[in-house]
Amino acid sequence: MAVATGALLPTAHAEELPVIRNRQLLVDGKPYLALGGELHNSSASNSDYMQPVWDKLKAMHVRTVVSPASWEDFEPQEGRYDYTLIDAQIAQARKHDMRLVLIWFGAFKNASSTYAPTWVRANPARFPRAVAKGQFAEAFTYPGAMPKPVLSVFSPELLNADRRAFTAFMKHLAQADPDHRVIMVQVNNETGMLHDSRDHSSLANAAWGQQVPSSLLQYLNAHRQALRPELAESWARQGRRTSGTWAQVFGTDWQAEEVFMAWHFARYMEALAAEGKKALPLPMYVNGWLGPQEGQPIAGQYPSGGPAKRVLDIWKAAAPSLDMLSPDIYVPDAKVPLADYDHAGNPLFVPEAQFRTGNLFWALGQHGALGYSIFGIEDGKPDSQLAQAYALLANMDGVITRAQAEKRIAGILIDDGKPAEVHLGGYTITLRETQVLLKQMLLDAGLQAPLAPPPLPSETEHGQPAPGDSRPFGLVIDEGNDSFLVMGRGFSVDFADRAGLAEIDRVEEGRFTEDGWKAGRVINGDERLTIIPMDRIGLVRIRLLRKTG
């Protein structure tokens, strides 16, 4: 098959592989924030289609592109590998000075198997299908809907074939990407099983009757005080048994079956990751379809066995070669899943999310996220709110990651109109929505005229233009010596120490360049009422007055 490697341009740091250490991503030996977006599923399947997309992403200040590499394109015939599309992505990332996170769309993608090659899907005798009782099928199909193939994760033949292809993929990256444009790899996508809480194929039924692996039970016992409460409850109701079959240890309801499926999906992904890392030890992770959630309260309505919050500890026990378990966030309140996945030292990376810029800042400031990715990123606009954020954050990797490591940073996301408080540098910092504050000032002055909010840069929702995130959001970073960086939109800040409200000494607008802080206007007078702008994302350095004598 054709191979197009593109120009191979090693750098001075080519020998330094990307690595996740202390919950931070290091690229070329330095902390790196993987900020960007994930392409639509089919975009990267044609390099001509992608040509204008790369330029658009560059104009949006995207620095990290999450992009698929599908098994069906990589191995269209068994044992014959086509590197063309992978090499094209690496070449374009290098040309535009971007980094890639490649998704291995292997045997499982969104709880089905549509990206497995034809020669796999056409041979159910060799590669058996999963069997569901169908109790949730009505939630996912409509009359006349064509079925999606769902391969059984219990098939040794499937694991061997997927692992061989993934290992070949990683071996090629080791040769074709000497300067490490590819910084992480996602192993399959939103794994798990829909329509039932467990597979009922003959292979799965045999596994259900087996003893729970002792390594899992030892892990649960060793971490019993820190387990997710849902898993701890499932184990406790059977008496925290230290041996027995799956039914004896966890029961026979959907919660027990989700644990069973989680172990086997995680062991499958562990086999791929462990073998792939022998070829090229890049950071690897899996992503999770959230569950339970509104409308999907039971495993099977969301993918049973995937890395959902109830079974995160099962995945950690079963797949030590995975560096992260990552949430895909499409729910109204992102604070909940971000907190759920900030668990047991798990580094936080969001590979898929909606165009809601405030959630990005909350993830960075409140949960030490090493990256955040918007799905369908090519639908965005160069003058969007998200592009503003990426432009300002572009040279702040060191500033933010040091503050994360030293707990000198806080996220701001006011979604209920109420004041929020953070505590940094010996100060209590009160954050209020500017719109609400100015309205109250008008009322206090006896003025009734309504205050219209300023227009926001547009974003994208379901592929259509939509207003930017109207919630006040941002970051506060304690620089020490009574100095703070404040970034975001739509809020006011008041600092107080034990003596009461502090006095501001100086406010500078500015931004970070490769050479450090570049100051802009000095903000004083009336402009101090809205230090953080309402209609765009701003960045200021605030120095407080420390009185002497």
pLDDT digits (tens, 9 = 90+) for 116-165: 999 999 999 999 999 998 666 554 555 666 679 999 999 999 999 999 99
We report the CATH number of the domain holding residue 537 as 2.60.220.20
CATH code where residue 295 lies: 3.20.20.80
Q: How far apart are CA 225 and CA 234, in angstroms?
A: 14
DSSP alpha helix (H) spans, 419-497: 434-444
Contact 322, 274 (CB under 8 A): no
Chosen domain end from 407, 436, 458: 407
The model carries a pTM of 0.93
Regarding whether 102 and 178 lie in a shared domain, the answer is yes
Residues 123 and 171 in one domain: yes
Structural domain contains residue 192: yes
Whether residue 68 is found in the same domain as residue 151: yes
Instruction: Out of 407, 440, 458, pick the residue that ends a domain.
Output: 407
Is the dihedral angle over the CA atoms 131, 136, 140, 141 positive or is it negative? positive
In 3D, which of 513, 485, 520 has the Cα closest to residue 391?
Answer: 513
Residues 326 and 460 in one domain: no
pLDDT tens digits, one per residue of 55-68: 999 999 999 999 99
Q: What is the dihedral of CA 399, 402, 406, 412, to 10 degrees?
A: 40
Q: Are strands 491-497 and 427-433 parallel, antiparallel or unpaired?
A: antiparallel
135 belongs to a structural domain: yes
In this structure, the answer to whether residues 374 and 496 fall within a common structural domain is: no
Measure Cα distances from 482 to 301, 362, 432, 477, 507 in Å: 51, 23, 21, 11, 12
In a domain, 237, yes or no: no
User: What whole-number distance in Å separates Cα of residue 417 and Cα of residue 421?
Assistant: 13
Say yes or no: 284 and 142 in one domain. Answer: yes
Examine the domain organization and report whether 447 and 303 are in the same domain: no
- How far is 407 from 137, CA to CA, in rounded Å? 46
172: left (phi over 0), alpha (psi -120 to 50) or beta: alpha
Per-residue pLDDT of the chain (549 residues; tens, 9 = 90+): 444 333 334 443 456 999 999 999 999 999 999 999 999 999 999 999 999 999 999 999 999 999 999 999 999 999 999 999 999 999 999 999 999 999 999 999 999 999 999 999 999 999 999 999 866 655 455 566 667 999 999 999 999 999 999 999 999 999 999 999 999 999 999 999 999 999 999 999 999 999 999 999 999 999 999 999 999 999 999 999 999 999 999 999 999 999 999 999 999 999 999 999 999 999 999 999 999 999 999 999 999 999 999 999 999 999 999 999 999 999 999 999 999 999 999 999 999 999 999 999 999 999 999 999 999 999 999 999 999 999 999 999 999 999 999 999 999 999 998 999 999 999 999 999 987 766 666 666 676 655 667 788 888 776 777 778 999 999 999 999 999 999 999 999 999 998 889 999 999 999 999 999 999 999 999 888 789 998 899 999 999 998 765
Statement to judge: residues 307 and 175 lie in one domain: yes
Residues 98 and 155 in one domain: yes
Would you say residue 244 lies in a domain? no
Tell me which residue has tokens 């990797």.
397
Structural domain boundaries, residue 292: 27-208+252-407
> What are 330-352's pLDDT values in tens digits?
999 999 999 999 999 999 999 99
* Per-residue confidence (pLDDT) for residue 18, from 0 to 100: 98
Question: How many structural domains compose the chain?
Answer: 2
